[in-house]
Chains A and B, each alone.
Chain A
Amino acid sequence: MATQESTAAKMAGSPHGIIGRPVARIDGPLKTTGTAEYAGDFHLPGMVHAVPVQATVASGVLRHLDVSAAQAMPGVLEVLHRGNIERIYRAVPNDPNATVSETRPAFEDDRLYYWGQYIALVVAETPEQATAAAAAVKAEYAAETPDVRRELEPFAGKWHTVSERGKVDDALAAAAVKVDQTYGTPVETHNPIELHATVAAWEGDRVTLYESTQGVVNHRNAMAQILGVPREHVTVITRFLGSGFGGKLFPWAHCALAAVASRRVQRPVKLVVTRTMMFSNVGHRPVTEQRFRLGAGADGKLVALQQDALNHTSLVDAYDEGCGEATPYLYSVPNLKVASALVQRNVGSPMAMRGPGAVPGLFAMESAMDELAVALKMDPVELRLKNDAVKDESNGNPFSSRHLRECLETGSAKFGWSRRTAEVGSMRRDGKVLGWGVAAASWGAYRFACATTVELGADGRARARCATQDIGTGLYTIFAQVLAEKTGLPFERIDVLLGDSSMPEGPLSGGSWSTATVLPAVAEAAEGAIASMLAVASSTPGTPFAGADAKTLRLTEGRVHRASEPAAQGVPFEQILKKARLNRVSADGRSGSAFEDPKARGLSMHSFGAQFVEVEWEPEIARLRVSRVVTVIDAGRIINPRAGANQIKGAVVMGVGMALLEETVYDPRNGQPINANLADYRMVTCPDTPQIDVTFLDYPDYALNSYGARGIGEIGLAGVAPAITSAVYHATGVRVRRLPVRIEDLLRSEIRQA
């Protein structure tokens, strides 16, 4: 086990010390000086602006659209709508390489499925003119009463079995101690600070799309299908992302609208989705409602577990949140059933949000576990240790690397859990009641295919190219670390070029798999480029290495030298390239997905974690704040503990928001998200942020890749909310099963004085 600091210390002395070192992100200065170009920052000559018009009813039919006033307004070039737009094609259903978020193209029919649905698009010279004209478009509706109810039960539809083993009904009936409760999570809106944006520019029949996307390759493929042009005619550029949290995985309706509008007016078009539209048109974490039944022996050993998970979806897509993600393997339990079903509501299509499935799923499961611990009068850490699984009982496979037990034990020690007294409201400090809660966390470990190119140039620089993108987590720096490791060059002499779909195809930024996916490919490409460099050195007359066996040569600290001699006696590689009259040497690196890797076959691969939370409760004024969080993460080897800890801390903060603040509220009468701005939709502010202590266990998982790295983007959010609600219960005696925890709920507490 190692903390951030000791990892650094451990690695500093090793020749490959750059891997595992807490380095600052190489793109940091660009961002802090405002020079990083996000999609909406591109200004092209002759560019005009598009603003969508949104429906103000959530269900019904668009009867009539009057665009005459808008059309006549200053600066307006075009008002596009169902009556005059050219065909927007659908993407091929279930094409994994060309996925879209909302399958229905904009303006496809006259039905209204959700509030805010695009019904027209104004293109004008300036954003202000387009906005004004969009407001002047008049729509007539045949409105119907929308269904935006948060409650998903009663549900009479068909359930789908996700996982099953043993005989759960019998085991539940016979269990000595039971929990049977339903847990709810609300609509959460992704709300990355960077708004979704598209800048589309055609040159003849070729289009360049400056996009805010988590997947330039998928985006290119999907847009080629949607626009009806060959793939090679579409280039997607995403140099930087102001995050996405899943909301930017796949194209939304506005992307096609911007491209089609640009083709129509024959000028570059910029479309920036407004913050209000962010709440209705670009996805959200759906409402979930999950009934959990747990049965245990008096000793606390689980005998039965049943999860029935509903989530809402839109009328145009069947989005399955997958709340059963972590349920089948987290604990040892002989009888288990996980089932799920979808309920349609008049809302825009949901979309994966940080830790989809596992995060709401674990809120329910870990809350139920806490309730079981209370029913058993057993310590909740002990209950989890008692039910730790040694293999994945859903399929019998061993885990590639699982240290949940150590996460819980380490977290307990760091948090001081042994000082906890079990009774509700029994702990005090400085005139406040304290509540302590714990939850386990888990998230899958994945690796997908990746191709990348590395070159060593006559300018003395190493350069990597890959059509993936840095969502803001530090992927640029991961590439740089591998290049630095392999070539010995400092970061100042390394260029990482990402976010361009014309480069070798890399992964989507999703599922926490980017680092694990790119590492083997970039390592292979770097090794290939170095091998090529050494071959050039040995075959170029006039270098000290001419005629030497390339196998006896090395590249260290940017210098080619004999293995038997120190790097200082070698020659900078750029001099050798010059001698050879070469501009560069380069090589491709390619790695496949873990699903096809014999090393990973038959293994269950997941990350694990434990969340320990302290809340402070002032019963006299119903004020509750999260004061302290200790997080222990088992996510393989951590390549950059600084960026890694940043991911975990950010996720914990998001978890505080999920537990206590965030909820998109719909007006039941017209289906409008009524708090669609950053003042009324509450996210955590700095003073709400607890003290956060992050520990990485740092056990390499070599089944996933040669670096032993898994992913860390999502796991930090898993388990935070249930640890908070358990702490809330411990402090107040109020068990909140429907997030977020509100002052209304806390006022029910019978503890009136600290």
Chain B
Amino acid sequence: MQSFSFTKAQTVEEATGAGGRFIGGGTTLVDLMKLNVETPSTLVDITGLPMAEVEKLPDGGLKIGAMVRNSDLAFHPEVKARYAVLSEALLSGASAQLRNMATTGGNLLQRTRCPYFRDTSYSNCNKRNPGSGCAAIGGHNRMMAILGTSDSCIATHPSDMCVGMMALDATIHVSGPKGARSIAIGDFYHLPGTTPNVENALEPGELITHVTLPAPRRQSRQVYLKLRDRASYEFALASAAVVAETSGGHIRNIRVAMGGVGTRPWRAHEAEAALMGKPATPAHFRAAAEAALKDARPQSENGFKVELAKRCIVRALTMATA
């Protein structure tokens, strides 16, 4: 690990002006620093900033401070009652110990688990070392993405929380040297394209201050389903977040997002389009799943994810509309 200096910020201005790397729970950052993948010279501890509250907004939505820990968020009564998909997604991730440390802001910015990204003995990783190539293509790629990949990078976005937030149409609020702004979560994550090192819309020095969720539609039902190799402490092979509103056996409103398969938390617009207004039947669910995966581009070892993701969507839709 490279030596670094450490400061603790008291205010948002102090944090964004410090010119260092923010550290929340540290469960991604310190891990990668120990591997020499991340080598910040200055760490700015932001856990003391006043952004650790969950508040109900006047419009019925929810404001989640960037420092709210994953466990606290998952067990928050408002979240459990009205944003079950988020609570379930959080609780399906990592381990209790990690969730106790992990923050909302840090989770949004967690890095991929691609083994070649995490090992600096591979010089060929476009994400870590732009223009150097991609060791994962042609390597051990079972856990890699099948959607949104490019010839430059096939790394999976590993978060569960973000998939839940995708299906809830979250908005990410940031503050930086140039002031404050908001970014819809759908616009936040970039596809790798030829620049997999640019992962999101944050500008240098910008701090995530909070996330807002719109008021849930009154009739909606929410499900997060995660399929993985073992029952706990395991990243998704495929996951699905569904927020569905049905009446008279028909789907009136639907949000479908996927994890474990995309290079970013994946919103399945095609599946949604295939379902809007349709009867909630197995045949329509399967058709929606087919639509969601029609552009899938599997690697040598992860072709099974295509079928698994489809089944995941079908089951999640079945549960959300039952």
Contacts and interface: CB of A to CB of B under 8 A. Distances in A.
Contact of A685 (B2, B225, B233, B308): B233
Given A621-B225, A665-B140, A742-B229, A135 B115 contact: no
Interface stretch (B99-107, B164-172, B264-272, B311-319): B311-319
Interface string B217-231: 000000001010111
28 contacts: A128-B1, A132-B2, A620-B311, A620-B314, A621-B227, A621-B308, A621-B312, A622-B311, A623-B227, A660-B230, A674-B115, A675-B140, A679-B113, A682-B229, A682-B230, A682-B234, A684-B230, A685-B230, A685-B232, A685-B234, A687-B231, A687-B232, A688-B232, A742-B229, A743-B227, A743-B308, A744-B304, A747-B308
Nearest 6 pairs of A and B residues by beta carbon: A687-B231, A744-B304, A685-B232, A687-B232, A674-B140, A688-B231
Given A685-B230, A688-B230, 14 more contacts: A620-B311, A660-B229, A661-B230, A669-B138, A674-B140, A675-B115, A679-B233, A682-B230, A685-B231, A686-B232, A688-B231, A743-B227, A743-B304, A747-B308
Contacts of B307: 747
Contact of B304 (A625, A680, A747): A747
Contact of B308 (A135, A622, A625, A680): A622
Interface string B284-322: 000000000000000000001001100110110000000
Given A669-B138, A742-B229, A747-B304, A680 B312 contact: no
A665 B232 CA distance: 21
A621 B318 CA distance: 12
A710 B115 CA distance: 44
A680 B232 contact: no
Interface of A: 56, 128, 131-132, 135, 620-623, 625, 660-661, 665, 667, 669, 672, 674-675, 679-680, 682, 684-688, 742-744, 747
Contacts of A743: 227, 229, 237, 304, 308
Contacts of A661: 229-230
Contacts of B97: none
A712 B95 CA distance: 32
Contacts of B230: 660-661, 682, 684-685, 687-688
Interface of B: 1-2, 36, 113, 115, 119, 121, 138-140, 225, 227, 229-234, 237, 304, 307-308, 311-312, 314-315
Contacts of A672: 119, 121
Nearest to A665: B140
Contacts of A621: 225, 227, 308, 311-312, 315
A742 B227 CA distance: 12
A665 B138 CA distance: 14
A655 to B, nearest CB: 14
Contacts of B237: 743
Nearest to A135: B36
B303 to A, nearest CB: 8
Contacts of B227: 621-623, 743
A660 B234 CA distance: 14
A511 B234 CA distance: 33
Contact of B231 (A620, A625, A669, A747): A625
Contact of B139 (A56, A669, A685): A669
Contacts of B229: 660-661, 682, 742-743
Contacts of A680: 113, 115
Contacts of B121: 56, 672
A326 to B, nearest CB: 29
A56 B233 CA distance: 29
Nearest to B237: A743
B279 to A, nearest CB: 19
Of A684, A688, A743, the most chain B CB neighbours within 10 A belong to A743
A744 B306 CA distance: 11
B250 to A, nearest CB: 23
Contacts of B138: 669
A91 to B, nearest CB: 32
Contact of A132 (B1, B140, B315): B1
A747 B303 CA distance: 11
Contacts of A623: 227
Nearest to A675: B115
A462 B316 CA distance: 64
A135 B33 CA distance: 13
A466 B237 CA distance: 50
Contacts of B1: 128, 131-132
B65 to A, nearest CB: 28
A715 to B, nearest CB: 25
A113 to B, nearest CB: 18
Given A621-B227, A621-B315, A685-B233, A667 B36 contact: no
Contacts of A622: 227, 308, 311
Contacts of B308: 621-622, 743, 747
A625 B232 CA distance: 12
A620 B233 CA distance: 22
A56 B312 CA distance: 39
B155 to A, nearest CB: 14
Contacts of A665: 140
Contacts of A682: 229-230, 234
B321 to A, nearest CB: 15
Contacts of A131: 1
A686 to B, nearest CB: 7
A684 B234 CA distance: 11
Nearest to B304: A744
Contacts of A128: 1
Nearest to B303: A744
A712 to B, nearest CB: 27
Nearest to A674: B140
B314 to A, nearest CB: 7
Nearest to B307: A747
A544 to B, nearest CB: 62
Contacts of B225: 621
A667 B140 contact: yes
A665 B311 CA distance: 27
A186 to B, nearest CB: 13
Contacts of B140: 665, 667, 674-675
Nearest to A753: B282
B139 A667 contact: yes
B154 to A, nearest CB: 15
Contact of A620 (B36, B139, B315): B315
A127 B227 CA distance: 39
Contacts of A132: 1-2
Nearest to B318: A620
Contacts of A687: 230-232
Contacts of A669: 138-139
A435 B139 CA distance: 35
A669 to B, nearest CB: 7
Contacts of A679: 113, 233
B38 to A, nearest CB: 14
Nearest to A685: B232
Nearest to A680: B115
Contacts of A135: 36
A679 B233 CA distance: 8
B308 to A, nearest CB: 6
B310 to A, nearest CB: 10
Contacts of B113: 679-680
A258 B79 CA distance: 53
B3 to A, nearest CB: 9
B236 to A, nearest CB: 12
Nearest to B121: A56
B123 to A, nearest CB: 11
B266 to A, nearest CB: 18
B140 to A, nearest CB: 5
A703 to B, nearest CB: 42
A679 B97 CA distance: 14
A291 B307 CA distance: 32
A151 B308 CA distance: 26
A433 to B, nearest CB: 15
